[in-house]
Amino acid sequence: MTTTPVSPQALSPTPDPSTVSPRPAAGRRPLIRAGAWPRRLDAAALSVLPLAAAVLLWYLLTADNVILWLRFDKVPGPLDVLHTLRGRLASGGYYTDLLASLRRILLGFGLAAVSGVTVGIAVGRSRVVRILVRPLIEVARPIPAIALVPLAILMFPTGEQGIVFITFFAAFFPVVVSTIHAMKTLPKVWEEAARTMGAGRLSVLAHVVLPGAMPGIFSGLSVSVGVAWICVISAEMISGQFGIGYYTWQSYGLLDYSGVVVGMLSIGILGWGTAWLVERIGARINRWLPRNAR
């Protein structure tokens, strides 16, 4: 007597179609993952809470004219600053100052990012370049960029070029140093494996070295953009004719303390926005990392 073999699929119970959740088509991802929006809303709420608490504390200290080891009786309150901000938003000069500072940041930081990464790769990959260039970097790096303002006034025909140069000088060194360290910490086995499979020097640089060093490079870029804002505002206060730093210093000279706070808040929001943009670009480029992939 012969028996017919039975497959394991035949022994398993047939699922009820009403209890089976539909699966997305192969090769497609749902546009919105389950629970993504609630998590984003929770994160946004948590981010707003410290800001709201700081504004509330600011209001209480200035409304009651608190005088302890800090004096708040002469500090403008949130309502005064809001009134000044409304007036500035209605004028075209405020937007001119914002655009001037943004233009200087984009030029100075952009030049520093490109040249810093290029020089850092050359120093990290070439022993000859490292011997020739590294001493220059280490000598110039401790010099405060703001100390170059008198020299920039003498060297450049316009103040605009001098401010861009100071911004570039300040932003260059965090990028180049982070790139050099990223070259040092890159695992040698990656490059050796690529060469074993027949990759040339340029192919290794483009497909192994640069992608592997990008996390370290973007760490330097995040630091660099903050340093660039500090120096561009300082340069605008000293030698600028437009810009949010010039507006803040001019408001102080006119004893418009609400305008000073408006300038400070504008600087903070602009710096936050540019830092967020750099981090988002870095997350997109470094999406191969496990944390970014999740």
- Domains of the chain plus CATH, in order, are 77-293 (1.10.3720.10)
Q: What is the pLDDT of residue 82?
A: 93
Alpha helices in 12-91 (DSSP H): 36-63, 78-89
Average pLDDT over residues 241-269: 90
Q: Nearest to residue 175, comparing CAs of 205, 139, 207, 216?
A: 216
Given a cut of 70, whether residue 38 has pLDDT beyond it is no
- Match 């937007």 to its residue by tokens: 95
Distance, CA of 63 to CA of 78 (rounded, Å): 9
Distance, CA of 120 to CA of 181 (rounded, Å): 8
Q: What is the pLDDT of residue 179?
A: 93
Selected residue with higher pLDDT from 248 and 201: 248
Distance, CA of 229 to CA of 171 (rounded, Å): 9
Q: What is the pLDDT of residue 287?
A: 82
Helix, strand and coil percent figures for the chain, each rounded to 5: 75, 0, 25
Average pLDDT over residues 45-74: 84
Average pLDDT over residues 251-255: 89
Q: What is the pLDDT of residue 31?
A: 47
Q: How many C-beta atoms surround the C-beta of residue 252 within 10 A? A: 14
Q: Nearest to residue 244, comparing CAs of 269, 222, 277?
A: 269
Selected residue with higher pLDDT from 13 and 238: 238
Distance, CA of 99 to CA of 217 (rounded, Å): 27
Given a cut of 60, whether residue 43 has pLDDT beyond it is yes
Both tokens of 270, joined, read: 């602009």
Residue 14 φ/ψ region, left for φ over 0, alpha for ψ in the -120 to 50 degree band, beta for the rest = beta
Q: How far, rounded to the nearest angstrom, does the alpha carbon of residue 88 sit from its chain's CA centroid? A: 27
Contacts of 285 by beta carbon, 8 Å cutoff, 6+ apart: 214, 218
Q: What is the pLDDT of residue 72?
A: 83
* Total number of residues shown for the chain: 294
Average pLDDT over residues 245-251: 91
Q: What is the pLDDT of residue 125?
A: 86
Contact 212, 159 (CB under 8 A): no
In the chain, the amino acid numbered 281 is I
Q: How far, rounded to the nearest angstrom, does the alpha carbon of residue 60 sit from its chain's CA centroid? A: 33
Q: What is the pLDDT of residue 265?
A: 93
Q: How many CA atoms lie within 13 A of 185 on its CB side?
A: 13
Q: What is the pLDDT of residue 30?
A: 52
Confidence of residue 270 (pLDDT cuts 50, 70, 90): very high
Given a cut of 50, whether residue 69 has pLDDT beyond it is yes
Alpha helices in 141-256 (DSSP H): 149-155, 159-185, 188-196, 201-204, 210-239, 244-253
Q: What is the pLDDT of residue 37?
A: 58
Selected residue with higher pLDDT from 153 and 81: 81
Average pLDDT over residues 126-150: 90
Q: How many C-beta atoms surround the C-beta of residue 177 within 10 A? A: 19
The region of weakest confidence among 28-32, 91-95, 184-188 is 28-32
Confidence of residue 109 (pLDDT cuts 50, 70, 90): very high
